[in-house]
Amino acid sequence: MGIDLVLTSVGGGRYRAHYGERVICTSRQPLLAASRVFVREGYPGETRISMRHAGSRHEALSSTIGYAGGFTVRETDTEGPFLVKLSPQEGQAALHGQPPSGFNGVPAPGQPPAAKNASTGLPRGDAA
């Protein structure tokens, strides 16, 4: 069984991920965020997940939920955006519904406030 997400833009670089009629998440990294939702709900880690943009028949990205759920996107003043593995602490927090550090500018417990992208003013590293 695979999970096929359909994305709709909500502005500001964020997308709403739909699975059938259900809204799974709204995020700047919907494949990663949705993967964590499905892992929390008890889906097996090897479950395939793919996403496409509404109106397109072409798959944009795919992975397994166990793999994709272990990553987030970070950006620095000199690099970015780039994919990074969640730390064990962030991974456990994310699997229990707490976003990784930098989500919407709200740091994870014990983390400093997230830096903002100089060009957009949005927080760097955003997942649900």
What confidence tens digit (pLDDT) does each residue in 28-87 have?
999 999 999 999 999 999 999 999 999 999 999 999 999 999 998 888 888 878 888 887
Look at the chain and report how many structural domains it folds into. 1
Range of the domain at 12: 2-67
Alpha carbons 88 and 123: distance in angstroms, whole number:
22
Residue 79 covered by a domain: no
Residue 25 covered by a domain: yes
Residue 115 covered by a domain: no
Element spanning 38, H or E: helix 30-40
Q: What is the pTM of this model?
A: 0.71
Q: Dump strand ranges (E) for the chain.
A: 2-11, 14-19, 22-27, 48-53, 61-64, 71-74, 82-85
Residue 33 covered by a domain: yes
Residue 39 covered by a domain: yes
Q: Which residues contact 97 (CB under 8 A, 6 or more apart)?
A: 40
